[in-house]
């Protein structure tokens, strides 16, 4: 072995903090077990890092790697050779797929996983997806290596290539700081397990969300005695969860609900907890509450419930006297809403302050930070104890009065989906109704259809908790990675990703299908090709309905020129990575193509269905 430093010393790391560096008699080789002073087993910090992930129950590392990860790669290889189980590594050619995949897995399991990205470059690529998971309130641990801070070979892992000099900005964490609950640059290998336990506690505490840890290359290569590395049991160092509320507030909520003539409930992500769906449905039946979802992120209420009133809350506001805001960030768009001030609002939310929204803008009369499932059960218990025959009759009559509007909505849906559209311009409603006819309630629909998202919700009926995923954040391209993560966690369920052509470009689809192929994770992707960005066009029309852009039909939204011979073969991107590929431009060819795609997916191969819908 090569003798190097023989005295303890202090090094200034790029974060400006001075850290003691372990005394080294011999230059340690990353990952190689050596004998310490007392004959203890010694390992690299990377080894203890992996142990810390195992202690946290992390099952997967979604990884996009670089020079910063050498000690981790070495340790994983050593663990493999020793037959030691470590979190499974899923290599993702693009970071947004890695992060969204971790998000899908967390959505299905509630368990945050690890994502490895490369220094500032990987953090920047991952950031858009981290922003999305932050808005979904999904746990994930993003780990970025840091370029080495030693320049002359002083320590194992010291700078040995050009890029180490250009990948060391002043403040890497600033890239993701608005979207993480906690960030830390690992100052020394000695605290790696404790830092991981802290990261795990933050990501899983209510409201959950992403955390970010930076791992300097030399720090991962440090060697420490095993005896210096206690474990941090998540049962003792874990997260903090919200629960129910005191009886006085439960009673007050029950009193207001039972006195109401037209109570309504608006919700978007209550269904993250399946128990909350059942509690809401039962409370709605007990009190005669009409429920609307706006931009729902999870399935919050069965569409078969007589209390379900669709996806537009605005008509409900016209009559409502009491409104429940249950786990919702944006219950409606304020500028279009009437009578908001006349309604008595009760808010129950895992994050009622909306502490990461600089502005929010909704009045509330009772504000409760709690778990909706628990509080709704608490309120239901009081309602059931207080309800008499007269009250039950009043509620039953009220619910019966809604059947007319439910029937009318069903007729409107049937009429819309009966129109198949034209060659090269299929009706989106017809497409979704065709999918609806063959999907089961066990399948999960991931909706990134953007301007067609409301039609997906209307025409693809969902009745069971955890069978629907909508858009939470503002970053397009989430649904490919998320579909993979959902499928990885639930191989027995079909995952159907529905995405606009614009969104498909953002999702790094080549990376999605590369991962689908390499790790045999078959998802169905439906690409809605309307020629570009309807959402951008519509936003101009809303603000400048009679403007020059409208007059000249010039919205900067077309992603095709219309020139002869131009190609937009979205499904070929899947085909390039072994997916089954279909293109449909003829309405009558749709049903058979859908069947072939589902057969492929059920047979273990991903499928892409490119459908030309009504152009924007």
Ligand X SMILES: Cc1ncc(C[n+]2csc(CCOP(=O)(O)OP(=O)(O)O)c2C)c(N)n1
Residues binding Mg ion (CB under 5 A): 500-502, 530
What gap in Å lies between CA 105 and CA 489, rounded to an integer? 6
- Closer by beta carbon to Mg ion, 120 or else 529: 529
> Of ligand X, Mg ion, none, which one does residue 44 interact with (CB within 5 to 8 Å by kind)?
none
CB 441, CB 462: distance < 8 Å: yes
In the complex, minimum distance from the CB of residue 215 to Mg ion, in angstroms, rounded to a whole number: 39
DSSP structure class, residue 364: -
| Interaction between residue 533 and ligand X (CB under 6 A) | yes
Residues 6+ apart with CB under 8 A from 362: 325, 331, 334, 340, 345
In the complex, minimum distance from the CB of residue 114 to ligand X, in angstroms, rounded to a whole number: 24
Instruction: Please tell me the total number of residues recorded for the chain in this structure.
Output: 616
User: What are the angstrom distances between the C-alpha of 107 and each of 282, 370, 490, 555, 591?
Assistant: 24, 19, 11, 36, 30
Of these, 300, 347, 434, 452, which contacts ligand X (CB under 6 A)? 452
| Three-class SS state of 353 | coil
- Closer by beta carbon to ligand X, 257 or else 456: 456
The DSSP-derived string for 383-406 is HHHH--HHHHHHHHHHHHTTHHHH
| Interaction between residue 579 and ligand X (CB under 6 A) | no
| Interaction between residue 264 and ligand X (CB under 6 A) | no
- Closer by beta carbon to ligand X, 374 or else 530: 530
In the complex, minimum distance from the CB of residue 534 to Mg ion, in angstroms, rounded to a whole number: 5
Among 510, 454, 509, 452, residue whose Cα is nearest residue 479: 509
| Interaction between residue 100 and ligand X (CB under 6 A) | no
| Three-class SS state of 146 | strand
Longest dimension (CA), the chain: 89
- Say what the alpha-carbon torsion angle 397, 399, 404, 406 is, to the nearest 10 degrees: -170
Q: Which stretch binds ligand X (CB under 6 A): 16-24, 289-297, 389-397, 447-455?
A: 447-455
CB 314, CB 290: distance < 8 Å: no
Q: Which stretch binds ligand X (CB under 6 A): 145-153, 301-309, 359-367, 528-536?
A: 528-536
Q: Which stretch binds ligand X (CB under 6 A): 87-95, 246-254, 446-454, 455-463?
A: 446-454
Query: Which tokens go with 79?
Result: 């663990």
Q: Which stretch binds ligand X (CB under 6 A): 157-165, 296-304, 488-496, 526-534?
A: 526-534
| Interaction between residue 131 and ligand X (CB under 6 A) | no
Of these, 30, 121, 128, 175, which contacts ligand X (CB under 6 A)? 128
Of these, 191, 226, 387, 535, which contacts ligand X (CB under 6 A)? 535
CB 49, CB 192: distance < 8 Å: yes
Residue 551 burial (CB < 10 Å; 0-12/13-18/19+)?
exposed
Give me the half-sphere count of Cα atoms (radius 13 Å) on the Cβ side of residue 150: 17
Cis before 207 (ω within 30)? yes
Q: Which stretch binds ligand X (CB under 6 A): 48-56, 383-391, 393-401, 532-540?
A: 532-540
What gap in Å lies between CA 473 and CA 132, rounded to an integer? 4
In the complex, minimum distance from the CB of residue 534 to ligand X, in angstroms, rounded to a whole number: 3
What's the distance, CA 473 to chain centroid? 8
What gap in Å lies between CA 179 and CA 135, rounded to an integer? 8
| Interaction between residue 536 and ligand X (CB under 6 A) | yes
Of these, 450, 455, 590, 606, which contacts ligand X (CB under 6 A)? 450
| Interaction between residue 530 and ligand X (CB under 6 A) | yes
Q: Give, in degrees to the nearest 5, the angle at Cα 353 between 340 and 175.
A: 120
DSSP structure class, residue 613: B
Of these, 179, 308, 362, 506, which contacts ligand X (CB under 6 A)? 506
- Closer by beta carbon to Mg ion, 409 or else 535: 535
Q: Which stretch binds ligand X (CB under 6 A): 106-114, 527-535, 547-555, 578-586?
A: 527-535
User: What are the angstrom distances between the C-alpha of 78 and each of 32, 70, 92, 255, 397?
Assistant: 8, 12, 22, 63, 69
In the complex, minimum distance from the CB of residue 538 to Mg ion, in angstroms, rounded to a whole number: 11
Residues 6+ apart with CB under 8 A from 74: 30, 31, 44, 46
Backbone angles phi, psi at 50, to 5 degrees: -60, -40
> Of ligand X, Mg ion, none, which one does residue 476 interact with (CB within 5 to 8 Å by kind)?
ligand X
- Closer by beta carbon to ligand X, 295 or else 530: 530
In the complex, minimum distance from the CB of residue 258 to ligand X, in angstroms, rounded to a whole number: 42
Cβ-closest residue to Mg ion? 500
| Alpha helices, H only, 292-388 | 314-317, 372-386
In the complex, minimum distance from the CB of residue 140 to ligand X, in angstroms, rounded to a whole number: 18
| Interaction between residue 465 and ligand X (CB under 6 A) | no
- Closer by beta carbon to ligand X, 294 or else 506: 506
- Which of positions 472-501 make contact with ligand X (CB under 6 A)? 474-476, 500-501
The H helix count followed by the E strand count for the chain is 23, 24
In the complex, minimum distance from the CB of residue 135 to ligand X, in angstroms, rounded to a whole number: 12
What gap in Å lies between CA 439 and CA 493, rounded to an integer? 11
Q: Give, in degrees to the nearest 5, the angle at Cα 249 between 245 and 254.
A: 110
In the complex, minimum distance from the CB of residue 349 to ligand X, in angstroms, rounded to a whole number: 24
In the complex, minimum distance from the CB of residue 526 to Mg ion, in angstroms, rounded to a whole number: 12
In the complex, minimum distance from the CB of residue 97 to Mg ion, in angstroms, rounded to a whole number: 21
In the complex, minimum distance from the CB of residue 427 to ligand X, in angstroms, rounded to a whole number: 14
Q: Which stretch binds ligand X (CB under 6 A): 52-60, 383-391, 395-403, 449-457?
A: 449-457
Write out 559-572 in H/E/C secondary structure: CCCCCCCCCCCHHH
- Closer by beta carbon to ligand X, 270 or else 435: 435
| Interaction between residue 451 and ligand X (CB under 6 A) | yes
In the complex, minimum distance from the CB of residue 473 to ligand X, in angstroms, rounded to a whole number: 9
> Of Mg ion, ligand X, none, which one does residue 350 interact with (CB within 5 to 8 Å by kind)?
none
- Closer by beta carbon to ligand X, 157 or else 475: 475
| Interaction between residue 129 and ligand X (CB under 6 A) | no
| Three-class SS state of 265 | strand
- Closer by beta carbon to ligand X, 393 or else 560: 560
> Of Mg ion, ligand X, none, which one does residue 535 interact with (CB within 5 to 8 Å by kind)?
ligand X
Helix (H) or strand (E) holding 263: strand 263-267
Residue ranges binding ligand X (CB under 6 A): 128, 450-452, 474-476, 500-503, 506, 530, 533-536, 616
């Amino acid at each position: 072995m090569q003798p190097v430093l023989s005295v303890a010393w202090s090094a200034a790391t790029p974060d400006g903090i001075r850290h003691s560096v372990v005394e080294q008699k011999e230059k340690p080789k990353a990952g190689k077990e050596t004998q310490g002073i007392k004959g203890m087993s010694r390992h690299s910090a990377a080894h203890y890092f992996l142990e810390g992930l195992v202690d946290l129950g992390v099952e997967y590392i979604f990884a996009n790697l670089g020079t910063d990860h050498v000690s981790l790669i070495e340790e994983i290889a050593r663990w493999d050779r020793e037959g030691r189980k470590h979190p499974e590594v899923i290599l993702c050619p693009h970071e947004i797929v890695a992060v969204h995949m971790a998000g899908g897995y967390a959505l299905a399991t509630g368990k945050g996983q690890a994502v490895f990205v490369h220094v500032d470059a990987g953090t920047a690529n991952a950031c858009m997806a981290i922003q999305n998971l932050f808005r979904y309130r999904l746990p994930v641990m993003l780990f970025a290596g840091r370029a080495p801070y030693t320049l002359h070979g002083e320590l194992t892992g010291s700078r040995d290539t050009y890029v180490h000099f250009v990948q060391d900005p002043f403040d890497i964490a600033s890239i993701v700081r608005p979207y993480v609950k906690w960030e830390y640059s690992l100052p020394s290998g000695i605290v790696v397990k404790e830092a991981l336990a802290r990261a795990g506690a933050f990501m899983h505490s209510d409201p959950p969300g992403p955390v970010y840890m930076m791992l300097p290359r030399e720090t991962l290569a440090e060697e420490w005695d095993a005896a210096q590395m206690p474990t941090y049991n998540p049962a003792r160092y874990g997260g903090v969860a919200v629960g129910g509320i005191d009886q006085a507030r439960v009673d007050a909520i029950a009193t207001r609900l039972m006195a109401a003539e037209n109570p309504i409930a608006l919700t978007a992500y209550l269904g993250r907890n399946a128990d909350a769906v059942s509690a809401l449905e039962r409370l709605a039946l007990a009190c005669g509450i009409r429920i609307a979802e706006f931009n729902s992120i999870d399935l919050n209420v069965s569409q078969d419930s007589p209390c379900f009133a669709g996806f537009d809350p605005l008509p409900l506001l016209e009559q409502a006297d009491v409104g429940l805001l249950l786990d919702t960030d944006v219950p409606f768009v304020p500028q279009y809403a009437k009578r908001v001030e006349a309604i008595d609002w009760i808010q129950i939310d895992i994050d009622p302050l909306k502490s990461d929204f600089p502005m929010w803008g909704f009045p509330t009369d009772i504000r409760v930070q709690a778990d909706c499932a628990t509080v709704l059960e608490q309120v239901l218990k009081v309602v059931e104890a207080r309800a008499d025959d007269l009250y039950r009759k009043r509620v039953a009559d009220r619910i019966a009065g809604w059947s007319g509007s439910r029937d009318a909505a069903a007729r409107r849906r049937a009429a819309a989906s009966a129109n198949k559209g034209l060659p090269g311009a299929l009706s989106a409603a017809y497409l979704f109704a065709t999918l609806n006819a063959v999907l089961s309630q066990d399948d999960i629909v991931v909706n990134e259809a953007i301007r067609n998202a409301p039609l997906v919700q209307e025409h693809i009926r969902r009745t069971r908790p955890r069978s629907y995923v909508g858009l939470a954040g503002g970053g397009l391209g989430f649904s490919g990675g998320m579909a993979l993560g959902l499928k990885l966690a639930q191989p027995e369920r079909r995952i159907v990703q529905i995405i606009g052509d614009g969104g498909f470009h953002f999702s790094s689809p080549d990376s999605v299908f590369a991962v689908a192929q390499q790790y045999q994770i078959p998802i169905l992707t439906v690409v809605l090709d309307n020629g570009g960005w309807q959402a951008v066009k519509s936003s101009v029309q809303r603000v400048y309905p009679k403007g020059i852009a409208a007059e000249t039909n010039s919205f900067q939204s077309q992603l095709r020129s219309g020139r002869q011979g131009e190609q937009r073969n979205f499904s070929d991107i899947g085909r390039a990575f072994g997916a089954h590929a279909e293109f449909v431009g003829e309405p009558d060819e749709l049903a058979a193509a859908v069947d072939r795609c589902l057969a492929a997916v059920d047979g273990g191969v991903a499928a892409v269905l490119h459908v030309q819908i009504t152009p924007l």
